[in-house]
Amino acid sequence: MDDNKLYNALLKSQDERRRQTQKQGETKSDDNFRTERPFSGSDRVGPNWVKVDVEQSDHPPTVYDSSISLELIGNPRPWSRDQLRERKIIYPGMPDKAVMDAYRELRIQLRNRAGEKNFAVMLSSLGNRGSSVLTAFNLAASFAMDSHTSALLVDCDPYNQDLSNLVSVEMKAGVTDYVADKSLAIKDILYPSGVPRLSVIPAGTQASSAVELFSSVRMRELISELKSRYPDRCIVLNAPPFQETTEARIVERFADQIVFGIPFGDVTAEAIGESVDALGSEKFSGVVFQE
C-alpha cells in the first residue's frame, strides 16, 4: 500500500458504522467467563440471555448475546476523561478529532480486510525510540468503542513495562509467566484496562526466556484459545521492534494481520520496504505513523 495514501487515509474524518447483524454464538463455560463477563447485578435481560449471578455460580450463561453481555465486562476502576487525556488514550468526544478519526479509519480498514470473522492484528514498531504499546492500546480501544465488539490487548513485548502506565489496576503475571507455569489459568493473567470492553494481558516477568516461551506449544494454544473464545472480540498483539528482536518474528505467526508503527521522521522509506520484504507475508496490512 502506498505510504502517502495510507497516511492520508488514517487522517480521514468520516467514520462508518458497521452495518451487520451479529450472529449468535456460544461461549465456553469456564471460570474465565466470570473474569471477562461479570454480571453487574442489573435487572436487564434480553431474549437470548439467561440471568445468572456469575460471581456466585459455577455455571455462567451459555447463550451469548453481545448487545447485553459486552456491557457487563468487568471494569472496576474506569479512567476519567482527564486521566485518559493525561495518558494520551483515545476516548469518544476527545478534543483532538483528527487523532480519533485516524484510529477509526485504521479500525475500518482492518475490519474490511478481515471480513466477517474476528481476528488478531500484530503491531510492531520499525523505529528504536520506545515501544509501540500506546499505539497498540489505542488501536484496541478503538475496537472497544464499538458497542457490539470487545477488544483484548496482549502485550508480547517483555522488555518494556509501559503498559502498566495505561492500565488502571495493578498487574502481576502475564503471557510469559502463563507459558512457563502450567498451574496458571488464563483468568490469572487477564486484567481490566480502565476502558470499557477492553481487557489486557501483560507481557509478564520472564523476559530472559521470551524467545523460547513464545515458540512453545503452550503459547500457540494460548493464542488459539483467546481467538476462539468469543465471536465478537478483536485481539491486538503488541510485539517488540520488528527489526531489533527475534520475538516479533515469532509473534507474527499468531497474527492474521500485521501493522508496522513508524515513528514520524525516524524511519526511511527504504527501511520500511526492507521490513515489508523481510516479512514476506500477505498478512501485512499497512503502516501507522506515530508522533
DSSP state of 48: T
- Residue 271 domain-assigned (yes or no): yes
Residues 173-225: pLDDT tens digits? 999 999 999 999 999 999 999 999 999 999 999 999 999 999 999 999 999 99
Q: What is the mean pLDDT of the chain?
A: 79
Q: 262: which strand partners?
A: 289
Read off the C-alpha cell for 114. Answer: 478481515
Answer whether residue 48 shows pLDDT above 90: no
Mean pLDDT of 150-161: 94
What are φ and ψ of residue 124, in 5° steps? -140, 140
Answer whether residue 75 shows pLDDT above 90: no
- Residue 46 domain-assigned (yes or no): no
The percent of residues above 90 in pLDDT, for the chain, comes to 52
d(CA 290, CA 155): 18
- Confirm whether pTM is higher than 0.85: no
More confident residue, 164 or 54: 164
Of 254, 260, 248, nearest to 284 by C-alpha is: 260
**3-class secondary structure, 256:** coil
Q: 245: pLDDT confidence band, cut at 50, 70 and 90? A: confident
Of 196, 212, 264, 204, nearest to 238 by C-alpha is: 204
Residues 267-288: pLDDT tens digits? 888 888 888 888 877 899 988 8
Answer whether residue 96 shows pLDDT above 90: yes
Answer whether residue 51 shows pLDDT above 50: no
β-pairing, 191-192 vs 284-290, is unpaired
- Residue 233 domain-assigned (yes or no): yes
Answer whether residue 67 shows pLDDT above 80: no
Read off the C-alpha cell for 189. Answer: 493473567
At residue 243, the pLDDT reads: 81
Residue 225 lies in domain: 3-15+76-290
- Residue 65 domain-assigned (yes or no): no
CATH at 162: 3.40.50.300
- Residue 32 domain-assigned (yes or no): no
- Residue 35 domain-assigned (yes or no): no
- Residue 185 domain-assigned (yes or no): yes
- Residue 90 domain-assigned (yes or no): yes
Mean pLDDT of 73-101: 92
Query: For the chain, what is the domain count?
Result: 1
More confident residue, 132 or 141: 141
More confident residue, 123 or 70: 123
**3-class secondary structure, 255:** coil
